[in-house]
C-alpha cells in the first residue's frame, strides 16, 4: 500500500507538472516570445534604405567629373581642354534638373548633390583654371581674385538653396555660377584658340577684372533671366526655333568666340534689367 500511495503521488506530480507545462506553452503562444518583441522593435526602429534616383544623379556625377577633369587639365597646362570641360559641365548641369522634373524624380538628396557638384564645377574649377593660366603671374592679386570668385560662387549657391521659395522663378538673384564659370572659360578658350600671348601684361589684368566681376556679380541682387518659364514639353513660338538654329550655326562656326560673346551679354543683362527697372518702376512694380 505505501508503494501504491507513493506511485499515486508521483503520477499526480507528473500530471501537475505536465498541466503547468501545457499552460505555459499556451500562454507563450498567446503572448509570444519576448525575444520576438525585441527583434520586431529593433526592426521597427531600423532606418530604411530609401535609395537614390539613378538617372538625374548620373548626369550630376558626369557634371562633377567634367569639373574635376578641368582642374586636372589646368594642372597639366591644357587650358583649352580645361575650358571645354567646364562647358561640358554646363550642359550636363542643365540637363539633370530638367530630367528630374520631367521624370518626377526630384529629391532632397539630388538638390544637395547638385549644389555640391556646382561648387566644384563652377566655383573651384574656373578659379583654379584661371589662376594656373595667368592669374598666378600677378602674385597676391592673382590668388585674391581667384578666391573672390570662389567665395562668390559658394555664397551664390548657399543663397540659392535657402531662397528657393522666395524669389521670382523667372529670374535668378545674382549671376548663376554656371554662367560665371562659362564666362571665365570662354575667355580662356578664346585666348588659347587665337594664340594670344598670355605673357602680355594686359591679359593677366583683363583676366583679373573678369574674375572679380564674375565673383561679385554672383552675390549681387541683379536679376538674370532663368529660362525656367520655357517648358520644352509644350509648344513654343516659331521665333524660338529660329534663334536656336542660329545659335547652333554660330557655335559650330566659331565655338569659343560665340560662347564667350553670349556669356558676356548674359553677364551684363542683369544690370541692364536693373537699370530698366529704375527708369520704368511702374512697369515692373
Element (H, E) at 28: helix 2-31
CB-CB neighbours of 73 under 10 Å = 20
pLDDT given for residue 20 in this prediction: 47
HSE, CB side, 13 Å, CA atoms: give it for residue 134.
23
HSE, CB side, 13 Å, CA atoms: give it for residue 147.
6
CA distances from 102 to 48, 105, 111 (A): 26, 8, 15
Q: What is the pLDDT along the chain (285 residues), one digit of tens a residue?
A: 444 444 454 454 555 555 545 555 554 444 455 545 454 454 444 444 466 777 889 999 999 999 999 999 999 999 999 999 999 999 999 888 888 888 888 888 888 999 999 999 999 999 999 999 999 999 999 999 999 999 999 999 999 888 766 567 778 899 999 999 999 999 999 999 998 888 777 999 999 999 999 999 999 999 998 876 666 666 777 777 888 888 888 888 999 999 999 999 999 999 999 998 888 776 655
3-state helix, strand, coil split of the chain in percent (to 5) is 75, 0, 20
Distance between CA atoms of 132 and 54, rounded to whole angstroms? 35
pLDDT given for residue 58 in this prediction: 92
- Counting beta carbons within 10 angstroms of the beta carbon of residue 150, is it exposed (0 to 12), middle (13 to 18) or buried (19 or more)? buried
pLDDT given for residue 277 in this prediction: 85
pLDDT given for residue 205 in this prediction: 95
Q: Which of 231, 244, 230 is nearest to 102 (CA)?
A: 231
* The three three-digit cell numbers of residue 241, written as one number: 526655333
Q: Which of 52, 64, 160, 155 is nearest to 110 (CA)?
A: 52
pLDDT given for residue 43 in this prediction: 45
Element (H, E) at 90: helix 79-102
pLDDT given for residue 96 in this prediction: 84
Q: Which of 209, 187, 173, 174 is nearest to 126 (CA)?
A: 187
HSE, CB side, 13 Å, CA atoms: give it for residue 180.
37
pLDDT given for residue 234 in this prediction: 65
Amino acid at each position: 500500500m505505501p508503494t501504491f500511495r507513493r506511485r499515486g503521488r508521483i503520477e499526480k506530480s507528473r500530471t501537475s507538472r505536465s498541466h503547468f507545462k501545457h499552460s505555459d506553452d499556451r500562454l507563450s503562444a498567446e503572448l509570444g516570445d519576448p525575444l520576438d518583441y525585441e527583434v520586431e522593435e529593433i526592426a521597427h526602429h531600423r532606418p530604411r534604405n530609401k535609395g537614390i534616383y539613378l538617372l538625374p544623379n548620373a548626369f550630376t556625377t558626369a557634371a562633377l567629373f567634367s569639373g574635376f577633369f578641368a582642374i586636372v587639365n589646368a594642372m597639366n597646362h591644357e587650358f583649352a581642354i580645361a575650358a571645354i570641360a567646364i562647358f561640358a559641365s554646363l550642359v550636363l548641369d542643365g540637363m539633370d534638373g530638367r530630367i528630374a522634373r520631367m521624370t518626377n524624380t526630384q529629391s532632397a538628396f539630388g538638390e544637395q548633390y547638385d549644389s555640391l557638384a556646382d561648387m566644384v564645377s563652377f566655383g573651384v574649377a574656373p578659379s583654379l583654371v584661371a589662376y594656373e593660366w595667368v592669374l598666378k603671374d600677378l602674385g597676391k592679386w592673382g590668388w585674391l581674385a581667384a578666391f573672390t570668385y570662389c567665395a562668390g560662387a559658394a555664397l551664390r549657391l548657399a543663397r540659392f538653396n535657402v531662397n528657393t521659395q522666395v524669389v521670382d522663378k523667372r529670374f535668378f538673384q545674382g549671376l548663376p555660377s554656371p554662367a560665371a564659370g562659362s564666362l571665365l572659360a570662354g575667355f580662356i578658350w578664346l585666348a588659347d584658340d587665337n594664340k594670344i600671348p598670355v605673357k602680355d601684361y594686359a591679359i593677366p589684368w583683363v583676366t583679373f577684372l573678369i574674375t572679380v566681376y564674375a565673383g561679385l556679380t554672383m552675390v549681387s541682387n541683379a536679376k538674370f533671366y532663368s529660362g525656367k518659364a520655357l517648358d520644352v514639353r509644350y509648344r513654343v513660338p516659331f521665333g524660338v526655333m529660329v534663334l536656336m538654329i542660329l545659335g547652333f550655326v554660330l557655335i559650330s562656326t566659331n565655338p569659343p568666340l560665340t560662347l564667350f560673346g553670349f556669356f558676356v551679354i548674359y553677364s551684363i543683362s542683369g544690370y541692364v534689367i536693373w537699370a530698366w527697372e529704375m527708369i520704368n518702376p511702374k512697369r515692373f512694380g
